[in-house]
Amino acid sequence: MVDATDRAFVGNHKFGMGYEPTYSGANSLFRRQYSRDLQGVDIVAWGVPYDLSVTNRPSCRFGPRGIRAASTNVTWDGGPWFWDFDPFEKLHMVDYGDCMFDPGFPMEIPEVIYQEAMSILQSDAFLLTMGGDHSVTYSVLKAQAERHGPISLIQIDAHSDTWEESPKRFDHGSMFYHAAQEGILAPETSVQAGLRTYNSSTHGFTTLTAEFVHEQGVAATVAKIKEVVGDLPAYLTFDIDALDPAFAPGTGTPVCGGLSSWQAISLIRKLAGVNLIGADMVEVSPPFDHAEITSLAGATLLLEMVCLIASQK
Binding-site annotation, residues for Mn(2+): 134, 157, 159, 161, 239, 241
Interatomic CA distance for residues 69 and 46, integer angstroms: 14
10 Å Cβ neighbour count for 10? 13
For 230-275, where are the alpha helices, taking DSSP H only?
A: 261-269
As a whole number of Å, the end-to-end CA separation of the chain is 33
For the chain, where are the alpha helices, taking DSSP H only?
A: 63-70, 87-90, 109-121, 136-148, 175-181, 210-216, 218-229, 261-269, 293-311
- Give which of 93, 90, 81 is closest to 30, Cα–Cα: 93
Contact between 32 and 67 under an 8 Å Cβ cutoff? The reply is no
φ/ψ of 119, rounded to 5, equals -60, -45
| Beta-bridge mates of residue 191 | 154, 206
Read off the DSSP letter of residue 154: E
Read off the DSSP letter of residue 290: S
Interatomic CA distance for residues 94 and 259, integer angstroms: 30
Contact between 266 and 218 under an 8 Å Cβ cutoff? The reply is yes
Contact between 130 and 47 under an 8 Å Cβ cutoff? The reply is yes
Q: Extract the annotated binding site.
A: 134, 157, 159, 161, 239, 241
